[in-house]
Amino acid sequence: MTDLHELYRDLHRHPELSLQEFRTAGVLADALRPLGFDVTTEVGGTGVVGVLRNGDGPVVMLRADMDALPVEEKTGLPYASTTRATNSDGEEVPVAHACGHDMHATCLIGAAEQLARARAEWSGTLLVVFQPAEELGSGARAMVEDGLFDRFGKPDVVLAQHVGPLPAGFIAHGSGPVMAASDSARITLFGRGGHGSAPETAVDPVLMAAHVVVRLQGIVSREISPSERAVVTVGRLQAGTKENVIPETAEIGVNIRSFNEHIAGIVRSAVERIVRAEAAASGAPREPEIEWHGGTPVLVSDESATGRTVAAFTEHFGAERLIPGATVNASEDAGVFGSAAGVPTVFWFFGGIDFSNWESGRAVAMNHSPEFAPDIEPTLTTGVGALVVAAREWLRN
């Protein structure tokens, strides 16, 4: 029987960036094989797929992501990551499981083990998918394009979950749009370099970028109706090499979140308008470059299928451990699987924070924070249990 606590600590201690999940994929594949699954690796790059056929019945897909983030962990845990890796731009960066994907993968191994041991109690096919590159918004699409459903069978339902800064042991759920669409832009502003003592001889892209960053903050507050939801975040601003040298370029990384394409279109257009207008106002010698990438669609948890799954959660966990109405501005590409297969997706959240351990008034660390790390228990037991209960609801009993 797999020691799930040790598996989690191992994955947490050895995080890997998106599309570099080679060790992680090997560990998870090795954990699946003794359970009787037909295991295939390198699906969509580094993805792992396990298939357990157990007679006639529905095909139920359980999905977990497994990539980490370029974040330096500051949790102080004895199993904290000290890993560094080279990113796609050739830069050395710290790496940490600051989003909880190590917990997701561990929970899926635990659920696969429980379901494999209980084969006499259900029939159908269990399709277990460990997905790479969720943080890039491209991993699910890559697995689909690599023939996921043609090679391993089309599911009747896709089930997935995400750990978050909720009370450990609780499950939060919603139906309809539960996670936002995400679009990212890489913006390059062009100036004219020069000496810091003679700014009149140059065109300063740093000042240009500063004006862009400030103006972008007005899009949601002044161009989007208060009844709609949208977020604009500047997560990256890079320019120059020395304090007395005016550089020739500045780069800005922008991310937007929205819940419908109309609002997303307004925000994208506003970003482009502001960037070009500020470049023109600054006398830029050439037009800025704006490259949109990494789009993730709105994640929709099917209303009927979610209701059926939540009813099973209620019976198993009790209504007092369920939190209704969960909708967040973060994004997830798990919905790509259900959309591609033309089947319902059910998505829920489970808590990972023991609030009794937190000092009064101290902020709770959110996903992507250097201090984010779920308490192993009861988080792990809850996540495993939720996957098992959901799968059993959809498999033939």
For the annotated binding site for Mn(2+), the residues are 99, 101, 135, 162, 368
Binding residues, by number, are 99, 101, 135, 162, 368
User: CB–CB of 325/174 below 8 Å?
Assistant: yes
CA distances from 97 to 8, 15, 271, 322 (A): 11, 6, 31, 26
The residue type at 138: S
**Alpha helix positions (H), 243-334:** 261-281, 303-317
Please give the full DSSP string across 92-129, using - where no structure is assigned.
Answer: EEE-B--SSHHHHHHHHHHHHHHHHHTGGG-BEEEEEE
Find the Cα–Cα–Cα–Cα dihedral 165, 166, 172, 174, rounded to 10°: -50
Amino acid present at 16: E
Q: Which of 122, 181, 157 is nearest to 304 (CA)?
A: 157
Backbone angles phi, psi at 12, to 5 degrees: -65, -40
Q: Angle, to 10 degrees, between the axis of helix 101-117 and the axis of helix 376-394? A: 50
Angle between helices 376-394 and 303-317 (to 10 degrees): 120
Q: What are the two backbone dihedrals, phi and then psi, of residue 89, each rounded to the nearest 5 degrees?
A: -95, 5
* Cα distance between residue 14 and residue 83, in whole Å: 7
